[in-house]
């Protein structure tokens, strides 16, 4: 198949479809590495709480299920063990979702498109890789976990900052942003589902202290605990407010609504820039419009689990159309 060429907005040159795909996946892997680091941080915080063994083990179960790698981990390690899971999620080369593999893949994708990213963006990604490589070559010590988590979070924020402040806001920027928000929306939906419907032992605990504790962990895992307090004050953390905040609140940069708005926005820009219709943009626009009409009660009436499952399917369908048009050149 002939390589699709995509017209740049600010120039008369053309972006190859492979370049668009590399940019998208570089940003998506960076976002994934950050998400895993924050999940590890929550587990580490629980470990510091006295008499929190059960919650700690449940948190590992939550992490593995959210990342869809529990079976893969158990095939290799057989039992849930703190140090083994930490290494598996940080540096295990056989785990495609380890932080080191995510950063390595982001770097490889970025290396393929050096002419489409600024030197500052490349340096930030490259330095992150080499810093993690240094840790990976040493025998892993669990005492290093907080330091490694801080490194990943700091470097990912640096990468995001260089993208925001040094990239032209053109088609390259759109594909980078799409990668970020597709990954973020998928992660947020899955962790809400796992936290509530898998970890909560039975319906009698809904609204109890254990339930509130699980929701507070969820907020910390998506870096939204302080934001939630700003939005709702110091009131109890209940499932109704959590659904409103992480699904429907446009002020929360981790909410599903926020990510869908961004996906719709950047697909509209691409449609305008290339002056061609896009099935991905049509699907995203429909989903965005549906979110505008949603209420918490609508979601609860249909079932939270069912709503999140449907959302993940819708997101996958939008990506399929994005891939078909811009990465494979199949959609004219």
| Residue 207 reports pLDDT greater than 60 | no
State the sign of the Cα–Cα–Cα–Cα dihedral 102, 168, 155, 251. negative
Using alpha carbons only, give the angle 286, 291, 295 rounded to the nearest 5 degrees.
145
Average pLDDT over residues 316-329: 94
Highest mean pLDDT: which range of 44-48, 154-158, 230-234: 154-158
pLDDT at residue 196, as a whole number: 72
Percent of the chain with pLDDT over 70: 87
Does the pLDDT value for residue 204 go beyond 70?
Answer: no
CA distance 139 to 276: 53
The 10s digit of each residue's pLDDT in 75-108 is 998 888 889 999 999 999 999 999 999 999 999 9
Residue 190: per-residue pLDDT: 92
Beta strands in the chain (DSSP E): 5-7, 14-16
Q: Which residues contact 235 (CB under 8 A, 6 or more apart)?
A: 241
State CA 293 to chain mean position distance.
25
Indicate left, alpha or beta for 81 from its phi (over 0: left) and psi (-120 to 50: alpha). Answer: beta
Radius of gyration of the chain (CA): 20
Which pTM value belongs to this model? 0.90
Q: Tell me the C-alpha distance between 45 and 56, whole Å.
A: 9
The per-residue pLDDT for range 263-303, each reduced to its tens digit, is 999 999 999 988 888 999 999 999 999 999 999 999 999 99
Output the pLDDT for position 239: 80
End-to-end CA distance of the chain: 13
- Which residues on adjacent β-strands are paired with residue 14? 7
Q: What is the pLDDT of residues 308-318, one digit of tens each?
A: 999 999 999 99
CB 199 within 8 A of CB 217: no
């Amino acid at each position: 198949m002939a390589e699709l060429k995509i017209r740049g907005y600010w120039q008369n040159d053309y972006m190859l479809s492979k370049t668009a795909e590399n940019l998208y996946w570089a940003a998506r892997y960076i976002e994934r590495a950050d998400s895993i680091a924050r999940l590890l941080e929550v587990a580490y915080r629980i470990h510091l709480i006295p008499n929190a063994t059960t919650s700690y083990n449940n948190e590992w179960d939550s992490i593995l299920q959210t990342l869809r790698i529990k079976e893969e981990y158990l095939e290799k390690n057989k039992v849930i063990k703190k140090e083994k899971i930490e290494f598996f999620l940080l540096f295990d080369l056989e785990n495609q979702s380890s932080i080191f593999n995510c950063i390595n893949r982001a770097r490889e994708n970025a290396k393929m498109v050096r002419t489409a990213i600024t030197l500052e963006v490349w340096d930030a990604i490259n330095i992150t890789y080499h810093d993690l490589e240094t840790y990976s070559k040493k025998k892993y010590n669990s005492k290093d976990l907080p330091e490694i988590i801080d490194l990943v979070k700091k470097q990912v924020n640096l990468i995001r900052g260089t993208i925001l402040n040094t990239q032209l806001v053109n088609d390259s920027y759109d594909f980078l942003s799409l990668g970020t928000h597709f990954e973020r929306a998928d992660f947020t939906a899955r962790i809400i589902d796992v936290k509530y419907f898998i970890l909560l032992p039975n319906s009698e605990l809904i609204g109890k202290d254990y339930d509130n504790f699980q929701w507070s962990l969820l907020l910390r895992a998506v870096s939204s605990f302080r934001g939630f307090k700003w939005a709702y004050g110091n009131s109890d953390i209940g499932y109704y407010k959590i659904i409103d905040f992480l699904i429907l609140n446009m002020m929360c940069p981790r909410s599903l609504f926020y990510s869908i708005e961004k996906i719709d926005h950047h697909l509209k820009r691409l449609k305008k820039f290339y002056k061609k219709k896009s099935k991905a943009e049509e699907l995203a626009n429909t989903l965005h419009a549906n979110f505008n009409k949603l209420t918490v009660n609508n979601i609860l009436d249909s079932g939270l689990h069912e709503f999140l499952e449907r959302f993940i399917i819708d997101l996958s369908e939008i990506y399929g159309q994005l891939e078909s048009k811009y990465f494979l050149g199949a959609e004219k």
